[in-house]
């Protein structure tokens, strides 16, 4: 994901629970056309704020199947995260709560210490993960394909891989099963894969 690039998507919320249940990425976004159909604030001409989609505007998104009885839909905008922001998001989302502050501090001020811990990394909240015993690459590929993710960011015990952005196939060919402790971040931490030393020490977030 490119730093500071603007991304557009539709956020889908359950009407009963008001929880975000789905994010629909928009591959094309005609800003001027869409602005002409929404009541845009004068100080938000780039549509950074969320705007609700109602029945009269569904024609702007012909590939989306709307169900207004169950869900509310909003146009959302976000920017690509920096590498450091990606790593912090991953820690806050997938690591044990009591360890997060220490891990973030290590990443910022003592990265080598953090990297050296990856072979026997024990700070993941494993309640959020499934243990992979076999077919690791196929399971990862299926998840990434479903989420339309083709680039990953790597935190690695190896300086050769650490902080690299790679396409998925290159990651499969060079990083996975390389013998190092690796944390691989997919998208904006949509999911994470970890592999460390020891038998069956391979995990994918749920």
Please, are residues 76 and 10 in contact by the beta-carbon 8 Å criterion?
Answer: yes
Please, are residues 156 and 182 in contact by the beta-carbon 8 Å criterion?
Answer: yes
Residue 15 belongs to some domain of the structure: yes
Q: Tell me the whole-structure pTM to 2 decimals.
A: 0.67
Identify whether residues 106 and 71 lie together within a single domain: no
**pLDDT digit string, tens, across residues 95-114:** 999 999 999 999 999 999 99
pLDDT on residue 3: 53
Residues of the chain with pLDDT under 50: none
Give the span between the Cα atoms of 160 and 140, in whole angstroms. Answer: 22
pLDDT on residue 2: 53
Last residue of one domain, picked from the residues 61, 79, 97: 79
pLDDT on residue 155: 97
Write down the H helix ranges in 110-148: 111-116, 136-146
Identify whether residues 110 and 148 lie together within a single domain: yes
Identify whether residues 122 and 186 lie together within a single domain: yes
Identify whether residues 14 and 101 lie together within a single domain: no
Residue 1 belongs to some domain of the structure: no
Tell me the residue ranges of DSSP E strands in the chain.
6-14, 20-25, 51-53, 71-79, 129-131, 151-156, 165-167, 182-186, 191-195, 202-205
């Amino acid at each position: 994901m490119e730093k500071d690039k603007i991304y557009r998507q539709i956020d889908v919320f359950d009407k009963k629970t008001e929880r975000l249940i789905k994010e629909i990425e928009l591959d094309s976004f005609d800003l001027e056309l869409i602005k002409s159909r929404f009541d845009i604030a004068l100080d938000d001409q780039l549509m950074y704020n969320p705007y609700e989609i109602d029945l009269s505007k569904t024609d702007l998104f012909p590939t989306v199947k709307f169900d207004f009885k169950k869900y509310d839909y909003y146009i959302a905008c976000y920017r690509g995260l920096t590498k450091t922001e990606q790593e912090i998001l991953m820690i806050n989302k997938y690591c044990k709560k009591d360890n997060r502050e220490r891990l973030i501090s290590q990443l910022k001020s003592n990265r080598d210490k953090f990297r050296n811990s990856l072979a026997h990394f024990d700070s993941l909240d494993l309640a959020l993960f499934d243990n992979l015993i076999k077919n690791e690459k196929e399971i990862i590929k299926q998840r990434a394909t479903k989420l339309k993710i083709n680039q990953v960011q790597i935190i690695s015990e190896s300086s050769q891989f650490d902080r690299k952005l790679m396409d998925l196939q290159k990651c499969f060919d060079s990083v996975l099963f390389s013998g190092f402790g690796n944390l691989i971040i997919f998208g904006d931490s949509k999911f994470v894969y970890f592999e460390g030393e020891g038998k069956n020490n391979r995990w994918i977030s749920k």
